[in-house]
Amino acid sequence: MLMRRLAMAAALAFTAFGGTAALAQTGDPSFNLVNRSNRVIYEAYASPSSDSNWGQDRLGTNVVPAGRSFVIRLPQGECIYDVRVVYDRQGGPAEERRNINLCNLSELAFDGRQAQQGGQPPQAQQRPQGPAPGGAGPTGNPSFNLVNQGRQTVMQVFASPATDQNWGPDRLGADTVAPGAVYAIRLPEGPCMYDIRFVYDSGQPQERRNVNLCDVTNITVPLQ
């Protein structure tokens, strides 16, 4: 009887504390993006930290001038997000915040102090400029912006380290990239040398091999 009571008490305690913890991780992650820099924010990306890509530009056709703000509306659910802004122009300096609990704040400010030229995140400063010990190649942040300057919609994007034997998942998921659109492809930090493959709405694919993605900000399609 005593053991049964102890077990019931433990179960109730687990439910109480577990339920509280679960609620703390869900809610409304929408926030007010505040530009405290002396630059214009032209692009803003916000995606759950568990996602593998940045998704669409949350500003759309809007920009956020210096000293102004913009409400980023996000779906209720996950709270832990990564946020990225791009200043000045397409492919300009970028600044990121990682693993932010957006449900616990109403605004997120960027001052431009950690912005890196060419859209490279702060971590990229530490990456080696040549092959790593053991011939593993350079490492850093291979994320890039896909710029569609063609007349066809990009239906699929595959990007995998050049050492891999398969393409892996479609990096767009359920999204597509229409002509004239820009889409941020988010890749995990690590190897820089990638093979990339784009598939258009005509079914025609294009590929490029052994690209050092840590040294580029934008990949423009159709590939030249």
| pLDDT at 148 > cutoff 90 | yes
Distances, alpha carbon 9 to alpha carbons 12, 13, 18, 169, in Å: 5, 6, 14, 45
Question: Cis bond leading into 222, ω under 30°?
Answer: yes
Q: Dihedral of the CA atoms 144, 148, 154, 157 (nearest 10)?
A: -10
Please, which pLDDT band fits residue 116 given cuts at 50, 70 and 90? low
Q: Are 85 and 94 in contact (CB under 8 A)?
A: yes
Whether this model's pTM surpasses 0.75: no
Instruction: State how far the Cα of 160 lies from the Cα of 183, in Å rounded to an integer.
Output: 17
- Report pLDDT for 157: 92
Q: Which domains does the chain have, with CATH numbers?
A: 27-119 (2.60.40), 138-221 (2.60.40)
Q: Give the helix ranges, DSSP H, for the chain.
A: 2-24
| pLDDT at 168 > cutoff 60 | yes
